Structure 1
């Protein structure tokens, strides 16, 4: 009986309230009383809220770091884009400048053609001048021509076609061993002989390239020239390639500048493997060295 009395008494002595101390940011201390039973039962909730708050704080911190990094990367990207735009602008300006130079060149070509009379129609014969004239008076253009349009383009195309049909460049990249004109006899070393072309040092089997567009008018053996390919060009020039070991073209074949037309050899009157190259106009040999470059 006495023990139960003391147990009741001890239970009754347990405090019903707990004191919580709160310290604020300004170092002020405040206390508050909270029901002990309520505090005990809310403990898991408080712990959960604390964990949640901590997780949120960490999440906000990570988000802030990632946001800062994203801002820095975006700033760097914007700078790169700006640099790229500046580069593109500079590149575009350079291309426009080159186009202006090209336009100037075409205008100079147009002026030159006008001065030479190349833009005028060919002179008519007396019979052509007797053609009936159209009724209604003289022809008058409705509007002036627009500069740097189809007319200039046509002249540029005509110039390109003329260049394509004129022998320009080298048929082989070997060095010259004999030039155009008089030279000592290559067999005896005595006396002189006329050399109507250029000799290029080469190895047997080296490719030989056409120097202009044209048509093969000879492919076979020609006296002391040995194996020969001869090409006629629309410009009126003819090119001749001699001493070949092999001929890669046939009579009447159309060729383009740069095409391989044969292989270097030492056929015919030859002291060793080399390419003999000639440029002719009206069957008269010209110095091919004047046609190797525009200079």
Structure 2
């Protein structure tokens, strides 16, 4: 007979409870384990929590892997674009270098031509200036000891040429259609008889801007008989340009002008059949055909 000692109820509640688990390996052998009953009750929740954490880690790992692959793909695409851009820049740079070489060759040819023409030589002395020259007329010719190096002169010549070009009327004062050319034409009012037309007429909407075709100075800005509102610009090259029938004059007398500046707006003042620009190029007050100044490729286009 086994005696059991009864413990107070409060003491029994404080006492840890265990459960016995029997594992049968075979008919001859069994094993038993004592497991805390609290762990048994909470093991399911713990396992579920652990499973949720594992699933969360797995999802995070998949997302991180996907992001890594996407980043790698983007980097590869970006590297491809950079390579293509580098190749494009290389081709563009090579093309520009080739064009610069062509330009250099042209400038060399220009320099040679200027040398052949004597354009680089000093201005010849006048008879008055040479009165004290000890060398008599018809004296022996002494050539210049050395040629002027290309590198020391071509930039100066290029600047000089550019300055002359800037002061020579080149290009169009307006990009409208030509409606009347230089020379004889039928009277635009009666269509009978002929009259001399000293310039070009450009069809243009009323109020369109009119642009100077060269650097210069305004020598007239006002009303001229038959021409209506007129602006005349004198250029240091000796040429003079005239713009007529303007609705508004945008410059003043004596004003310095740069090529491309707006000198006025298209109108129909004076002897005019409608809004248009009348444009003239003059040399020594004699009208020239402005069409030969519209482009440097005129001779090739004809």
2:179 maps to 177
Gapped regions of structure 2 (runs ≥ 5): 5-19, 24-32, 35-45, 136-142, 298-302
Equivalent-residue separation in structure 2 for 1:77 and 1:198 (angstroms): 56
Equivalent position to 1:278, from 273, 277, 280: 280
1:119 maps to 120
Equivalent-residue separation in structure 2 for 1:74 and 1:172 (angstroms): 51
State the TM-score, normalized to the length of structure 2: 0.69
Residues 74-118 of structure 1: per-residue CA shift (max 9 Å, x gap): 555544443333233222212211211221221222223223332
2:220 maps to 218
Count of residues paired in the alignment: 265
TM-aligned CA deviation for residue 251 of structure 1: 1.4
1:249 maps to 251
Change (3 A) 1:119 1:79: same
The secondary structure found in structure 2 opposite 1:285 is strand
Residues 224-275 of structure 1: per-residue CA shift (max 9 Å, x gap): 2222211110111111112222222221111111212122223322233322
Higher mean displacement: 254-263 or 61-70: 61-70
The secondary structure found in structure 2 opposite 1:224 is coil
2:11 maps to none
Matches within 5 A, 1:63-142: 74-129=75-130, 130=132
TM-aligned CA deviation for residue 62 of structure 1: 7.9
The secondary structure found in structure 1 opposite 2:292 is helix
1:167 maps to 169
Equivalent-residue separation in structure 1 for 2:96 and 2:169 (angstroms): 31
Equivalent-residue separation in structure 2 for 1:225 and 1:105 (angstroms): 43
TM-aligned CA deviation for residue 64 of structure 1: 7.1
The secondary structure found in structure 2 opposite 1:252 is coil
The answer on 1:2 being equivalent to 2:5 is no
State the TM-score, normalized to the length of structure 1: 0.71
Equivalent-residue separation in structure 1 for 2:204 and 2:95 (angstroms): 42
Change (3 A) 1:76 1:192: closer
